[in-house]
Structure 1
């Protein structure tokens, strides 16, 4: 289940590193790669979002909807920190304060910094091409979209079939628990 405040803070972190403005394509790829790295290291998604293959590579589905303005943001969520997309770019609305990123743990910011160090210097097209060539879970959806299951992702990250299934089942259980708490 998407944690909008957390994914917003993940995006704000990368936008801040880039001087406050970035192509939405590059930002999405950085967010995807950060979530993927968190899954590789800890077996947990930072964003809680669903992953899908799209023509320009893998994306975080609900986060893309937030970027595109296709869904309404929650109070204190996306629209509180990030401007509407203009000329295929997103920008921070205000300067980040020290306590702004309160949803991110030290482990989260370490993952974000690692991804920034590896990919922050790439153009939007270079990082898109990287995800096409180095993320085997991505499959060309031929103009549509195709879900990327966590089991498939864990296998692409080198986990055995049994371990990938166990980790994917755990994420499914966590999503179910999150949904139950969301109804309270």
Structure 2
């Protein structure tokens, strides 16, 4: 189940690596690559967001809506705000430390650090090219958008169709359980 707080902390963690500001296109690509890396390593994503193929590559749907100003419950704004430059986002908090990122596990932090090490030096346009060329689950939506299923991603990452189906089913059950648990709170 998608969590605005967790997505905001992922974004803020990556923004902190970049000195507190970056284009939201670059942020979207890094967050997608972090989800993808987590799927490869553990079989489930960090953000638990819905993925879509769009013209400029894959995106996290709910997070993109937050970046563009919609659907906010308030947690996003505590961590991330629009920048002075069009299409930029900025870290809202001054110098957060590890304890501030309480929604992120140590394993998730390791993945975010690795994604930053591998891709943080790339420009947004290099990341667009990278996701077009290296993320086989992305398909050109020809001006529209197209959902990317967990099974598609897992198969693109090298899992067999049977293993991808089983992991996708487990992810679906996990999301259902989270939804039920949040209803009980």
TM-score, with structure 1 as normaliser:
0.96
8 Å CA contact retained: 1:26, 1:124: yes
8 Å CA contact retained: 1:82, 1:90: yes
Residue 91 of structure 1: aligned partner: 90
Which stretches of structure 1, 4 residues or more, deviate above 6 A after TM superposition? none
The alignment partner of 2:143 has SS state of coil
Q: 1:81: how far off?
A: 1.1
CA distance in structure 1 between the aligned counterparts of 2:64 and 2:73, rounded to whole angstroms:
12
8 Å CA contact retained: 2:78, 2:93: no
Q: 1:93: how far off?
A: 1.3
Residue 14 of structure 1: aligned partner: 14
Residue 36 of structure 2: aligned partner: 36
Provide Cα deviations, 1:116-141, integer angstroms capped at 9, x if missing partner. Answer: 00000000000111000000000011
Structure 1: give runs of 5+ residues left out of the alignment. none
Provide Cα deviations, 1:139-183, integer angstroms capped at 9, x if missing partner. Answer: 011111100000111000000010000000001001111111222
- 1:39-54 equivalences under 5 Å are 39-54=39-54
| Count of aligned pairs between the two proteins | 182
Q: 1:97: how far off?
A: 2.5
TM-score, with structure 2 as normaliser:
0.95
Residue 183 of structure 1: aligned partner: 183
8 Å CA contact retained: 1:15, 1:22: yes
Residue 80 of structure 1: aligned partner: 78
**Aligned Cα root-mean-square deviation (Å):** 1.1
Structure 2: give runs of 5+ residues left out of the alignment. none
Q: Which moved more, 1:80-89 or 1:25-34?
A: 80-89
- 1:9-158 equivalences under 5 Å are 9-74=9-74, 77-84=75-82, 86-98=85-97, 99-158=99-158
8 Å CA contact retained: 2:16, 2:91: yes
CA distance in structure 2 between the aligned counterparts of 1:14 and 1:82, rounded to whole angstroms:
11
8 Å CA contact retained: 1:66, 1:73: no
